[in-house]
Amino acid sequence: MTETTAVGTRGYNTQEFHKYSSIGLLAPNMQAKVVDWNSRSFLPPGYCGELWLRGPAIMQPLADLEAILISHPEILDAAVTAESDEVFGEIPVTFVVRRYGSRLTEEDVKDFVAKQVSPYKKIRKVVFTSSIPKSAAGKILRRELRKLLNRRL
């Protein structure tokens, strides 16, 4: 959900009106609902639960692209994050761990993904690395990937 905050809602606090307990108004063309964590049933306004967002600016979490990348026979591991872009706002960037001896190129990776996804999901940049930073639980540490990207600039 951390990738959705900038596109899912927008604040509406003004000098006259402050409601700090609110996430703001739903952004245009977005849909939202609150769901009970356990039963996955929809909850009425005022109840606590998990916020589900749907709209044109939200990718099925990056796991879609990562699953495609991992299916390539020359890729051992992969992770996707976003990088700021002046034209598009953000572009998908993938970090790839190649199999030993692989001659896989950036264009090979881009072409492989492009054949399987919509145009807006295409990978725009590939960074080859020796490992993907992960937590003890195995979750990809995307903030570490973004730090690596910033160091490369």
pLDDT in tens, 52-69: 777 766 655 778 899 999
Specify the pLDDT at position 2: 53
CA distances from 84 to 26, 105, 120, 127 (A): 23, 23, 15, 15
pLDDT in tens, 79-138: 998 887 777 677 889 999 999 999 999 999 999 999 998 777 788 899 999 999 999 888
* Parallel/antiparallel/unpaired status of strands 50-54 and 31-35: antiparallel
Specify the pLDDT at position 117: 87
Same domain, 50 and 105: no
Tell me the C-alpha distance between 127 and 112, whole Å: 15
Same domain, 33 and 102: no
Q: Is the pLDDT at 16 greater than 90, yes or no? A: no
The parent domain of residue 35 ranges over 2-54
Q: What is the average per-residue pLDDT within 137-149?
A: 88
Tell me the C-alpha distance between 51 and 43, whole Å: 10
| Residue 72's CATH number | 3.30.300.30
Same domain, 70 and 39: no
Q: The pTM is what?
A: 0.61
